[in-house]
Structure 1
Amino acid sequence: MKKIFILSCFCIFAGIFFSGSEGHAQQLPQFSQYIFNGLNINPAYAGYKGAPYLQSSYRSQWSGFPGAPKTFSLSADLSANEGTMGFGASLLSDKLGPASTFSALLTYAYRLQMGYDSFLSVGVSGGVSEYAIDGTMFSPDEYNDPDIPEGKVNTFTPNLNTGVFFHTSRFYAGLSMFNLIGKKALEKESISLAYHDMHYYFTAGAMIFISDDVQFKPSVLIKEAKGSPTNYDINGMLLLMERLWLGASYRSNLGNGSESLQENLNNRNSIAAIVEIFATKQLRIGYSYDHNVNILSNLRNNSHEISVGYYIIPRDVRVHNPRWF
């Protein structure tokens, strides 16, 4: 049975790779609008916004393609003890054909003031992840194949992540590590369902003042995972009247995970258009559209992503020291 599952997962992931994925089979899900919710990639971000905050995102990748990835996240965080501590909780569900992943995490962060306008946070999150395969979604050549389960097969593993986050009112940088534990627990299972490899994230960005009503936010994300190409995102966002965000993102990789492929298949280039608006003082709504620009762009559909953020306590639209990261 183990060989069947390994082969099945390999076929799924390989098919997605050759359709030009901007990710990789062994990488955690990634949102184009991660720049509006750092908790997804760094536990030290918990409590950064100050006010209690709810965030949810839904991503439909390669819309219309059979078995295409669909990812949903829900998170909440708040600060306490005069902003020196942050607490958070998050849920993540990712489905890819017959394979699915679900994780639940609790987060704690401690914030130190390094200067008049500079802060350093250290955070940790822990919880559990479930990896599963639904045997009813396979189409075997023979009926009653003993190597294909009649229903869902799943396994659980503990999860631990950590990170640091430095910020001022105009600059930020963060470094985090995900999946620090749990891989060995999965290797002991009789089935091979998971790709619970360690991930590294580096983020940095700035807020550049242009005028009273226009500001520019450039940022970068670098993601590294064992056995996968090094992915990077370059983003540029304009903030208009402190209510409307308009921008774009470019995603590619360094190609060091698939040297055996020709160069034009290694590149996973995509661009995304992003719009975010504060519909009210408490409600933020965002949408992004990803378009692939590599050699295989005509062989698959594009991706859509919706995000919603909600401040439990009303947010003043114009404040002396807004936290835009």
Structure 2
Amino acid sequence: MKKKFIIYILFLIGVLAHGQQAPQYTQYMYNPSTVNPAYVGSTGNTRIYGLYRTQWVGLEGAPKTANIAMNKPIEGSKLGYGVSVLSDKIGVSDETQIAADLSYTLFFENDSRLAFGLKATGNLLNIDYTKLNQYNPGEQVIQNNITNHFSPNIGAGLYYYNKTTYFGASVPMILNTRKYDDLNNTQINQRYHLYLMAGKVYDLTYSLKFKPALVSKIVSGAPLQLDISTNFMFNEKFIIGAAYRWSASVSMLAGFQLSHNLYIGYGYDTETTKLSNYNSGSHEIFLQFDLLGKNSKVETPRFF
């Protein structure tokens, strides 16, 4: 019975770690390249992005995610590229992902564009079972830590956009990979995710813009996840908004354009499920920095 109990606990940790399968964000709309490689280079300049998210504060072993990314167009070509490093810590697991993205863009009339993207990733997984409460220290599962388990993957995406609108579809990890299999009867597989996204900017007044956006994540064997957000931009400086994750959480968003190059944003989520009884919400902060050339500028009307 003790052995079955330990296996059950490990299964729950696995569900927490990989049941949501990919890291969860609230402010996904500011760095779509995380899930869609076709986005890289679309801003027309070098963009550096950093995010830190602590989820379900107060719940032991809850996810903590950090992401640093850079993307830019290749001057004189239709290509763009990007690189990113992601750290995702959940319970006794610690996963690091390094990704490289490449995009190719077709240009159409009315300044609309369609980009195709490819993503290559390498994941390193570490699991330290000694951090668990051991009810029977002699069990084999407790002794078999996982150290730097490497798994490669590939992804692809499409991204259509103009100055006020975007649509995207992507599968950032196409290959179904096995994360681990310690006892030959307990394993967790990384399944592919299909992401659909869209957004549009409306000029309500001279100084006020409104942007609704959504992203849907479809995973085999898991419920459909749908995030809907609305944001308002005042005087191209201050942004405030709200988001709703279907049957999961509601969020408040805020951001400020500190300078022509630097933007900072914050998001707070509160659960709408029974999980809210065991945590005090989730916090997310990010920085976005644009490196501009002498003749380039940030296209603020895009707002994405």
Q: Does 1:309 align with 2:284?
A: no
TM-score, normalized by length of structure 1? 0.84
The 5 Å alignment of 1:113-192 reads 113-149=107-143, 151-181=145-175, 183=177, 186=179
Q: Which residue of 2 aligns with 1:260?
A: none
Aligned residue in 1 for 2:250: 271
> CA-to-partner distance for each residue in 1:284-304, whole Å, 9 max, x for gaps?
111000011234423322000
2:236 and 2:300 in contact (8 A); partners too = no
d(CA) in 2 for partners of 1:52, 1:134: 38
Cα distance in structure 2, aligned partners of 1:55 and 1:320: 17
Matched to 1:170, the amino acid is T
User: In 2, are the aligned partners of 1:131 and 1:193 still within 8 Å (CA)?
Assistant: no
Residue 128 (structure 1) shift: 0.7
**Residue 35 of structure 1: SS of its match in structure 2?**
helix
Match of 2:214 among 216, 220, 223: 220
CA distance in 2, matches of 1:187, 1:97: 15
- In structure 2, stretches of 5+ residues that fail to align are none
Deviation (angstroms), 1:314: 7.0
Q: Given the alignment of the two structures, is residue 12 of structure 1 paired with residue 13 of structure 2, yes or no?
A: yes
TM-score under structure 2 length normalisation: 0.90
Distance in 1 (CA, whole Å) between partners of 2:260 and 2:129 is: 46
Cα contact 1:183–1:196 (8 A) shared by 2 = yes
Tell me if 1:107 matches 2:101: yes
Q: After superposition, where does 1:277-288 map in structure 2 within 5 Å?
A: 277-288=256-267
Q: Is the alpha carbon distance of 1:271 and 1:26 closer, same or farther for their aligned partners in structure 2, counting shifts above 3 Å? A: closer
Q: Give, in angstroms, the shift of residue 306 of structure 1.
A: 0.6
Distance (whole Å) between structure 2 residues aligned to residue 320 and residue 67 of structure 1: 40
Q: Deviations over 1:117-137 (max 9, x none)?
A: 210000001021122211221
2:88 is aligned to: 94
Count of aligned pairs: 301
Residues 54/321 of structure 1: CA separation in 2 closer, same or farther (3 Å cut): closer
Letter in structure 1 aligned against 2:100: L
Structure 1 residue 79 and structure 2 residue 73: aligned?
yes
CA contact (8 A) 1:93 1:100 kept: yes
Q: Is the 8 A contact 1:281 1:316 kept in 2?
A: no
Which SS does the other structure have where 2:141 is aligned? Answer: coil
Structure 1 contact 128–156 (Cα < 8 Å) conserved: yes
Assess if the C-alpha contact under 8 Å between 1:83 and 1:111 holds in 2.
no
Q: Secondary structure at the match of 2:10?
A: helix
Structure 1 residue matching 2:255: 3-state secondary structure: strand
Contact 1:177–1:200 under 8 Å retained in 2: yes
SS in 2 for 1:66: coil
Amino acid at match of 2:105: R
**Aligned residue identity for 1:174:** G
- Aligned equivalents of 2:188, 2:255: Cα separation in 1: 34
The unaligned stretches of length 5 or more in structure 1 are 17-22, 253-267
SS in 1 for 2:48: strand
The counterpart of 1:61, out of the listed 55, 69, 74, is 55
Give the root-mean-square deviation of aligned CA atoms: 2.7
In the alignment, is residue 289 of structure 1 matched against residue 289 of structure 2? no
Shift of 1:313: 2.1
Give the structure 2 partner of residue 324 of structure 1: 303
Shift of 1:38: 1.0
Tell whether 2:292 aligns with 1:298.
no
Q: State the identity as a percent.
A: 30
The aligned counterpart of 1:265 is none
